[in-house]
Chains A and B, each alone.
Chain A
Amino acid sequence: GDSVTQMEGPVTLSEEAFLTINCTYTATGYPSLFWYVQYPGEGLQLLLKATKADDKGSNKGFEATYRKETTSFHLEKGSVQVSDSAVYFCALSETFSGNTPLVFGKGTRLSVIA
């Protein structure tokens, strides 16, 4: 079945460092891809998404490009801030139906230190 693999955390960076969180997926069709963020003590919220190959999703300085040839959707940010400390989840949505749940990776915890 469909699956999402994320890099293991935790990731610790200094403020203003460059961030990459790797995400690769396995899917039988052409899924939509998502990044969610979970701040401490809160639920998950959508950070960005891409719905077809070569699309780039972006939000709050974060970007991710849907790469069909490498089945990847890596999250990047050029200069992280302490407020970016959170858990990040990569997810995909199956091609066939919008009714089925998103498939989530295990999450990557990011800590940014001043």
Chain B
Amino acid sequence: NAGVTQTPKFQVLKTGQSMTLQCAQDMNHNSMYWYRQDPGMGLRLIYYSASEGTTDKGEVPNGYNVSRLNKREFSLRLESAAPSQTSVYFCASRPTSGGTQETQYFGPGTRLLVL
């Protein structure tokens, strides 16, 4: 099992450019999440998908869109990148069969710099 994979690892964008961050998991998990991590701010939830076909806003959804393409894949799109979106982005997944005790599994992150 590869677990949770993210592409790309690093990206530099100019203000106004668009891009899609890809995330895939091979653990057959129902739920998937996108977070951003900024210094001193911890993790902030952007969007999540409780199951295939559903998505919900998290704490900081503005400027982002998501697509739950199938059970494995959950992508995050920046339509018009801004310097404030410079951050490290983490994708995570979680099984739901065991209820609240289930663990979230994280990908290695995508480091994004918007100039």
Contacts and interface: CB of A to CB of B under 8 A. Distances in A.
B27 to A, nearest CB: 13
Interface residues of A, number: 25
Contacts of B100: 31-32, 51, 93-95, 97-98
B104 interface: yes
Interface residues of B, number: 31
Nearest to A52: B101
B106 A44 contact: yes
Q: Name A's interface SS.
A: loop
A89 interface: yes
A99 B50 contact: yes
Contact of B107 (A43, A99, A100, A106): A43
Interface of A: 31-32, 34, 36, 42-46, 49, 51, 89, 93-95, 97-102, 104-107
